[in-house]
Structure 1
C-alpha cells in the first residue's frame, strides 16, 4: 500500500542532499563585482599609455638632412636617395658600416688608392673633386619608406644644384632616385634609358646669364652634365653584390678619365 508519509520523507531527504551543492545567486554577484573592482584598480602591463600632445614629434624632429658635400666643377656629384638612420645620427653620408659606397670608391680608383671612410666625406671635393648630395633630406630606416611623390619633389632641387655647380657627371646611387629624375626631367621613352650605367639624359646648364668667356677660362668645355646610375650601395640590396656595384664604379671612373683626357 502507498504510504504518503514515506514519500514526503524521501523528497525532503533528496532536497537536503541537493542543497549542499547549491549556490546563492546574490552572493555570486557580490563576489564577482568585488573581483572586478580589484581588477580595475590593478595596473595592467597591457594598458595603453596616456597620449600626450608633447609626445608628438615636431616637423623639425622628423626631418633630418645631412649637409651637401659640393663644390663647383666637380668631376662627379653622387646623389644618394636619402640619409639612413645611422647617417643622420652621425651627420655623414653612407655612414653605415655595411654600406659599400666607400669601399667601391676606393677600389675603383676614385681616391687614388687612399683609404678613406665616412668621417672624411667633407674632404672629398678638395681632395678628389667629388661631391655628395641626396634627393630627399628626410632620414628613414629604408628608402622604401619614401613615397614616389616625395622622391619626385626632391628632383628640382637636385637639378638646380647641377645647373649652379656644373659637375661633369651626376651619378645616382640607387635606381629609384634615377627613376624619379627621369619622370621629372626626362623622356617617357623608356627604350632610351638603361637600368644602370651611362644614361642618354643630360642636364644642360647654359642660359642667357652664363658668361661663356668665364666658362672657357674655368676650363668648362661642354655645357651639360652627363647622367650615370649605379645600384644602391646599401648592403640590404641583395640583387646586386658589392662586385656588381664595383663594376659600375670602375666604368664611371673610366668615363671620367676619358672625358678629362
Structure 2
C-alpha cells in the first residue's frame, strides 16, 4: 500500500512539471550524445593549443657553420699543396681538393672520409695518424697529389679541359719524382684519367694493380675504392681496408 501511494505521488509530480513547462511555452531540452561543438574564438582572443601552427610560428632550421665563418667563395680560392718528393713508394692521387680539405689545409680532412681510418686499420704507417700528419707521411714513403689543383664543392664542377690538362701535368710530375706506385683513390678518378690519357675507358675493370704504367715512367698503377663515405659499393671503412693492405705489401 505504501509503495503504491509513493508511485502515484511521483506520477503526479511529473505531470505537474510537464504542465508547467507547456504553460510557459518552452519544450523540454533533449541533450545530444557525443562531444560538444567547438566554439570559434572571438577576434583578438588567444588561440587554443589545437590551433594550427602558421608558417611564421614554425621552428627555424638551424644551419651548421662548418667553416667557422669562412665563405665558400674564399675556400674556392685556396690551393692544397702536394705532399711529394723524390723516392716515394706510394703517391696517393685524388681528383681535386674539396672545400673541407682546403679549409683544413690537409688531404682527406673531411670528417666523413675513410682514408685515415683505413690507413690506421691497415697498419700501413705503424702508428695512429690523421690528416694533420699528411706532411709527415712523406717520411714513411707516402705522398699526396691531385689531378686538378682547383678547389671546388664537387668534382662535377670541373671541366673536361681541366681534367685533361691536369692529367698531363700529373704525368710530368710523376716523371720528375718517380714514385714506385701511383694509387688512384677511386675507380671514377682512374676512369677519368684513363680516358683522357689513353683515349678510352678500360674494359673489364678490377680494383687493384693495373697492367698499365704511367706513360713514360716505370711507375705502376693501383686503383682502390674511393675513400669517400658516399662510395655506394664500399660504404664502410672496413670494406676498403684490404686494398690498403695490398698496397702495403707491394
Give the TM-score of the pair, scaled to structure 2: 0.65
Aligned to 1:129: 141
Q: Which runs of 5+ in 1 are unaligned?
A: 1-56, 207-223, 257-261
> 1: distance between equivalents of 2:117 and 2:80?
20
| Cα-Cα RMSD | 2.3
Aligned to 2:17: none
**1:1-261 alignment runs, 5 A limit:** 62-112=76-126, 114-126=127-139, 128-186=140-198, 188=200, 190-191=202-203, 194-203=205-214, 205=216, 224-241=218-235, 242-254=237-249, 256=250
**Across the two proteins, how many residue pairs are aligned to each other?**
178
Q: 1:95 to 1:138 in 2, by over 3 A?
A: same
Higher helix share: 1
Q: 1:89 to 1:69 in 2, by over 3 A?
A: same
Q: Which runs of 5+ in 2 are unaligned?
A: 1-70
Higher Cα Rg, which structure: 2
Q: 1:189 to 1:176 in 2, by over 3 A?
A: closer
Can you list the C-alpha shifts for 1:193-224, whole angstroms capped at 9, x where unaligned? 62421111102546xxxxxxxxxxxxxxxxx0
Contact kept in structure 2, 1:64 and 1:137, CA below 8 Å: no
CA drift of 1:157 comes to: 1.1
- Deviating beyond 6 angstroms after TM superposition, the runs of 4 or more aligned structure 1 residues are none
Aligned to 2:42: none
> 2: distance between equivalents of 1:161 and 1:90?
24
